[in-house]
């Protein structure tokens, strides 16, 4: 499995090796050892989500409060989506920037999004199916969003598709509005959480 860091720190893309023959294709779409190598700690699986979206559907930008927030490992099992990771951590050197990745059923990449980062995607095909592994359960009172059409973010959604948003996402605040309201996670709190997770995932002294 090939591991690539994105321009937004604490997000990685995992490209699996695919084995094809006359029967079809086999691949390992998630490997805990590969993720641990990149991130420095395991992904605790608390919830698995699956969405199916018509072309143009735009989900996000979603995030949850830190701590504990929610890390995600995302893959597109059918069709094609444009996935964006947004650095919404105040105080981060890359605050307000994004990294865009195409996830599809051809390369079958997986995307890891650490706690405190914003996540959004647009379905580029009809019936685009996305599966997520999540580190914590969904907690309504701690879930927040940034408007994915915020002009200051300028996320690279294809112009030929008409965005289809939920009512909640359509009225979500801009990044500046969320920052002014004190709704965004801080880079300091996120780094402290990552350090805590790495320490908890480290082998005990003398472990073999």
CA distance 192 to 148: 27
Active site residue 112: no
Q: Please give the DSSP secondary-structure letter assigned to residue 111.
A: E
Q: Which listed residue (50, 63, 132, 187) is catalytic?
A: 132
Q: Are 164 and 142 in contact (CB under 8 A)?
A: no
Active site residue 62: yes
Cα 25 to chain centroid, rounded: 25
CA distance 113 to 95: 15
Q: Which listed residue (62, 73, 112, 144) is catalytic?
A: 62
Distant-in-sequence contacts of 146-149, Cβ < 8 A, 24+ apart: 146/60, 146/61, 146/63, 146/86, 146/88, 146/118, 146/172, 146/173, 146/174, 146/175, 146/178, 147/61, 147/171, 147/172, 147/173, 147/174, 148/58, 148/60, 148/61, 148/84, 148/120, 148/172, 149/58
- Residue 6, number of CB atoms within 10 A of its CB: 19
Positions marked active-site: 62, 132
């Amino acid at each position: 499995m090939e591991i690539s860091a994105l321009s937004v720190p604490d997000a990685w893309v995992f490209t699996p090796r695919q084995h094809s023959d006359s029967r079809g294709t086999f691949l390992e779409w998630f490997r805990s050892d590969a993720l641990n190598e990149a991130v420095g700690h395991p992904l605790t699986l608390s919830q698995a989500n699956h969405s199916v979206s018509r072309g143009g559907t735009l989900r996000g930008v979603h995030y949850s409060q830190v701590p504990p927030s929610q890390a995600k490992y995302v893959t597109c099992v059918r069709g094609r989506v444009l996935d964006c990771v947004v650095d919404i951590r105040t105080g981060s050197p890359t605050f307000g920037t994004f990294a865009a990745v195409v996830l599809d059923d051809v390369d079958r990449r997986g995307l890891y999004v650490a706690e405190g980062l914003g996540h959004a995607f647009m379905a580029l095909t009809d019936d685009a199916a996305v599966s997520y592994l999540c580190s914590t359960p969904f907690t309504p009172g701690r879930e927040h969003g940034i408007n994915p059409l915020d002009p200051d973010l300028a996320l690279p959604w294809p112009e030929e598709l008409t965005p289809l948003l939920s009512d909640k996402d359509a009225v979500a605040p801009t990044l500046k509005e969320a920052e002014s309201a004190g709704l965004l996670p801080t880079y300091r709190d996120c780094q402290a959480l990552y350090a805590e997770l790495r320490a908890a995932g480290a082998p005990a002294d003398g472990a073999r």
